[in-house]
Structure 1
Amino acid sequence: MTDPTIGRLRVSGATLHYEVRGRGPLLLLIPGGTGGAASFDGIADELAATYTVAAYDPRGLSRSPLDDPGAEQRVAEHAEDAFRLLELLSPGEPARVFGSSSGAIAALHLLTAHPERVERVVAHEPPVVEVLPDTSEHRALIARVQETFRTQGLMPAMAVFAAGLKKDDDTAEPAPAPELPPEAAARAEQTLAGLPFFISRIVPAFMSYVPDLDRLASLSDRLVLACGQDSRGELPYRPAALMAERFGTELRHFPGGHVGLNTHSVGFGEALKKALLA
């Protein structure tokens, strides 16, 4: 794997760690969950053959500390961080952007707020549950997760959260976790360290976000909505499927499920390259 060029960018209330590889037009990668720039290690080199690939740790996670560790998180602020990176790394030139999960929510807001800076956005399973007809159930889930975290702690809260993401009719015992490539398994410690911030700050802020569907529809020629081929029926799959149907656009399917980036990195990278050119 090629060693990236490392940078630090001061933004409002935080300092962002970012990494750059390759040459060509800019491709900004926005991670989801507790992932940082390292979550793209499995695909970054392949993409860097075509693009200048930039990835970063979102504010509050890993190597991007907040000035105020207790600061509330907002989707608009995270999207503005991405915009600042575009301004730094691709001044005056529209860029391509990929985001997964919560990172895909930030990418959607970036597209609506700064469309002139974005040539194409690929959004993989953005859990914008406010667009769903049963959104009240998901608001209740988020409230249960927060209450469980407050009263019982991290792992019980994560269990409630994970159960709420499953298929509505899925009552089976959970399948064994897929075996991760060594580089993904090595990030487990970082993932665990970021979970309290994720469950208490990112989940409530991002899953209560209401996207501007009319504006996204008007920009849908620059938007590729994607889901994991193994995710059908799960909560993170449904908003992208609904938006693709509403916008009259194709819903792309990438290998694996919600975390296919980690479990099926080679196929995921190939699918992403095709989506960026669509």
Structure 2
Amino acid sequence: MTALPATGGTLDVPGAQLYYELRGEGPLLVLVGSPMDAGPFAPLADLLAADYTVLTTDPRGVGRSPIEDPDQVATPELRAADLSRLITEVDAGPAGLLGSSGGAVTALALAQSYPGQAHTVIAHEPPLYEVLEDRKELIARSEDMVATYRGGDSIGAFRIFMEIAGMAMPEEMFQQMFAERGEKEAEEDRRFFLYTQGPTTQWVPDLDALRAGSTRLVIGIGEQSAGQLCDRTSRALAASLGIEPALFPGDHGGFMGDPAAFADRLRAVLAGR
């Protein structure tokens, strides 16, 4: 199957310019991450474009979405407001929405504050400390991570991050991912450690509002994520909402590891199967 070409665009929003891409035709389906940009979603978006108009975006301050204030805190509420404006801009909603990792927190914030914008929100592995009993320990460990970063040891900060996440990887892979960082990557690292991860992981969802809203909520978990932080947070959140989590192929980044299998599962979940 030949991938449908993506059309890029930009949207001016207060304090930032958002880059986004559209693919395909049909009902609107939004794929969003944080702090990840649109790039890793491209293989999945290409597959889904046969059935949907697929919207992907770089969150403010990431990738091709510049911000006016480099020290602006990237709260889930702010990111949800950006996403709401994008959905309004493309004028094809209400949307189906898949948020991954920090993007899952963005998606939950959208469902909470803009319930008419999405008919279905699939929050795939949201890293929410506040739904766990050991949240104080996790916050303290994250504060140690930030202090390590502020002390000039970005590699050490990433090691703590991976430990908190419960994601083990070979040393060679770790070095490839985190040791060689260019100027742009270093700036995005700064925003992640100082202005994004804290507000994301410590966001407190309004469970009553999420339960009462018109948006259908799905909490997604990777089949291979057992033992990882986001497996725990996702199961705890689903239990708090009184819903059964939906399993997806792969782990935390399953949509990158096997986009075809992930696309098939996503279509089924959107269809209520």
Instruction: Please report the TM-score for the alignment, with normalisation by the length of structure 1.
Output: 0.88
Structure 1, unmatched stretches of 5+, are: 168-173, 180-187
Q: Secondary structure at the match of 1:29?
A: strand
Equivalent residue number for residue 254 of structure 1: 248
Deviation at 1:177, TM superposition (A): 8.4
Change (3 A) 1:59 1:200: same
Q: Secondary structure at the match of 1:152?
A: coil
Change (3 A) 1:115 1:178: farther
Equivalent residue number for residue 34 of structure 2: 32
Alpha carbons 1:220, 1:249 under 8 Å: kept:
no
* Residue type at the aligned position of 1:198: F
From 235, 238, 260, the equivalent of 2:232 is 238
Distance 1:124 1:109 in 2: 14
Distance 1:61 1:95 in 2: 23
Identity %: 36
Correspondence list, 1:1-278, <5 A:
1-33=3-35, 35-90=36-91, 93-166=93-166, 174-176=168-170, 192-193=185-186, 194-219=188-213, 222-278=216-272
Moved more, 260-269 or 155-164: 260-269
Distance 1:102 1:159 in 2: 19
Alpha carbons 2:116, 2:214 under 8 Å: kept:
no
Alpha carbons 2:115, 2:214 under 8 Å: kept:
no
Change (3 A) 1:248 1:190: farther
Structure 2, unmatched stretches of 5+, are: 174-180
Instruction: Please report the TM-score for the alignment, with normalisation by the length of structure 2.
Output: 0.89
Distance 2:172 2:91 in 1: 37
Deviation at 1:221, TM superposition (A): 6.4
Alpha carbons 2:71, 2:195 under 8 Å: kept:
no
- CA RMSD of the aligned region, Å? 2.3
Distance 2:260 2:113 in 1: 32
Count of matched residue pairs:
263
Deviation at 1:70, TM superposition (A): 2.0
Q: Secondary structure at the match of 2:67?
A: coil
Distance 2:114 2:41 in 1: 24
Equivalent residue number for residue 185 of structure 1: none
Deviation at 1:189, TM superposition (A): 7.4
Q: Secondary structure at the match of 2:211?
A: helix
| Runs of 4+ in structure 1 over 6 Å off | 188-191
* Residue type at the aligned position of 1:154: S
Change (3 A) 1:19 1:69: same
Deviation at 1:30, TM superposition (A): 0.8
Deviation at 1:108, TM superposition (A): 0.0
Q: Secondary structure at the match of 2:229?
A: coil
Alpha carbons 2:118, 2:215 under 8 Å: kept:
no
